[in-house]
Structure 1
Amino acid sequence: MFIAAEAGGANLLVSIAPFILMFAVFYFLLIRPQQKKQKDRNLMLTQLKKGDKVTTIGGLHGTIQEITDDIVVLRVNDATKLTFNRDSINQVTQPSTSLTE
């Protein structure tokens, strides 16, 4: 009777092992890279500063004129300034060259 209980425990481990393996593969191939990408994006958004040339999620190119915690004002040409949420910045194409803000 005791031997049957040990065999049942081994069968349980063998039946759960594929699920554990699948979770490990999903974690290392999908979840972990996505978390790293999100961390890098948040770091980029916190380091935005006046004078940076950026591209928005919609593809608009401009230079940061004003920046607050939530809002970014972009100058897209000599006469046009547009206001965006900070989260709508996709990438910094050219960091500002000035050392002071």
Structure 2
Amino acid sequence: MFATPAFAQATGAAGAGSAFASFVPLVLIFAIMYFLLIRPQQKKVKEHRAMVEALRRGDQVVTAGGIVGKVVKVGEDGIVEVEIAEGVKVKVVRQTITQVMNKTEPAAA
């Protein structure tokens, strides 16, 4: 009914092998998290940065607020002027553009 003292005692002192064996699952969890969460997010951020840097006048874009418009002016200070209706222009921060719907073709030189 009660555990005898022989069963209650530890089997022996923990060696270096068991310390390494208990560290392996932690390393595996970190590796899985890196490949499933961190790496894809970094790739997505890199693609978004490239898309925002490639904005040109005439591109049809969608902002983070869901506004669809055409790029009228691309400023160097991170501000983009977007025309959302005939004669209605708004200034938005470049990073808030989430999608480029229609790309304009580069002008032939």
TM-score (norm 1): 0.88
**Partner residue of 1:52 out of 54, 59, 64:** 59
CA-to-aligned-CA distance 1:67-96 (integer Å, 9 cap, x gap): 112100001111200111111111100001
**1:84 aligned to 2:95?**
no
Gaps of 5+ in 2: 1-11
Identity of aligned pairs, percent?
38
**CA distance in structure 1 between the partners assigned to 2:90 and 2:36 by the alignment:** 38
More helix as a share of residues? 1
**1:24 aligned to 2:27?**
no
Shift of 1:44: 0.4
Secondary structure (helix, strand or coil) at the match of 1:44 reads: helix
Q: Which has the higher contact order (CA 8 A, sep 6+)?
A: 1
**CA distance in structure 2 between the partners assigned to 1:49 and 1:17 by the alignment:** 50
Paired AA for residue 99 in structure 1? A
**Which entry has the higher C-alpha Rg, 1 or 2?**
2
Paired AA for residue 21 in structure 2? V
**1:38 aligned to 2:45?**
yes
Gaps of 5+ in 1: none
1:96 matched to which residue of 2? 104
What CA RMSD, in Å, does the superposition of the two structures yield over aligned residues? 1.7
Shift of 1:98: 4.9
- The 10-residue stretch of structure 1 (8-17 or 90-99) with the greater mean CA deviation from structure 2: 90-99
